[in-house]
Amino acid sequence: MIVMKACWNITSKCNRKCRYCFKFNEKDLSLDENEKILDKLISLGVNEISWSGGEPFLYDDFQKLLKLSKEKGLLNYVNTNATLLNRTNLLDNINNIDKLIISLDFVDDTLNEKYGIGTGYYAHIKDILTQINESNFKIEIQLNTVLFSKNIHYIDELYNEICKYNIDYWKILRFWPVRGKALKEKNKLSITDRQFKEFSRKYQNKNQNFKIRIQNFDELEERHFIVLSSGEVVYSENGKDIRVAKKLI
């Protein structure tokens, strides 16, 4: 079977203020409108959706869309900061998810707070990962890390912590100053090509119980097509966003 993927930013709302964020800011659509977009994506051959935002769990009808997507035979990957998940609601919230993708850029919560990720963020993620490991949920777990000038010297510490958990993937994405806060912080947060190459050489042959994928932003551009929360479709080329003329709704 050929895998056709779509990245769908279901909402622009977010409860974090990460200084390196490059999210879009669009209006949200109703559940009815998004159900029509889901059917349109399926008609185009999409069978795997990477749900993102903003923070997707802030969309009021997100669970309904996940359930509907699953019923229609699609795989659901969810990119989240996991701050709205806890020990009480975790099982219900991940019931229709095939892969949970959690952002993690520092294990030092002083730095998480400094760069807008939030107070006690790693302590919370640690609790979520521990619960998932202890409960043996049948779900793939991926951690995503943005590699930028302020955390590149803390990656060893982060790696050592990640190795304590039973995860499936660790994806490291080079900081991409294409829009929003990330573009404003370009000069402060960017890393050089040399730094990225040295990092890649160091980590591409690491031996651990999960897979590591290191991604440059030019690799991201090659296949970075996004369905925005407004129903528009965007792809990025040469560091600029290009909006497809026709909406999905």
Summarize pLDDT for 202-213 with one digit per residue, the tens: 998 899 999 999
Q: Which tokens go with 97?
A: 């998810």
Contact yes or no for 114/15 (Cβ under 8 A): no
Instruction: Kindly state the average pLDDT of the residues 40-68.
Output: 96
pLDDT for the residue numbered 224: 58
More confident residue, 40 or 137: 40
Q: What is the mean pLDDT of the chain?
A: 92
For the entire predicted model, the pTM comes to: 0.94
Instruction: Kindly state the average pLDDT of the residues 41-45.
Output: 93
* pLDDT tier for residue 124 given thresholds of 50, 70 and 90: very high
Determine the topology of domain 5-243 in CATH.
TIM Barrel (3.20.20)
Torsion, Cα 173 235 139 104, to 10 degrees, reads 30
Is the pLDDT at 223 greater than 70? The verdict is: no
Q: Quote the distance between the C-alpha of residue 110 and its chain's center.
A: 22
* pLDDT tier for residue 90 given thresholds of 50, 70 and 90: very high
pLDDT for the residue numbered 53: 95
* pLDDT tier for residue 219 given thresholds of 50, 70 and 90: confident
Summarize pLDDT for 160-175 with one digit per residue, the tens: 999 999 999 999 999 9
Domain residue extents for the chain = 5-243
* pLDDT tier for residue 3 given thresholds of 50, 70 and 90: low
- Strand ranges in the chain using DSSP code E only, listed in sequence order: 5-9, 48-52, 75-80, 99-103, 140-147, 169-174, 211-215, 225-227, 233-237, 240-243
Torsion, Cα 65 182 102 1, to 10 degrees, reads 60
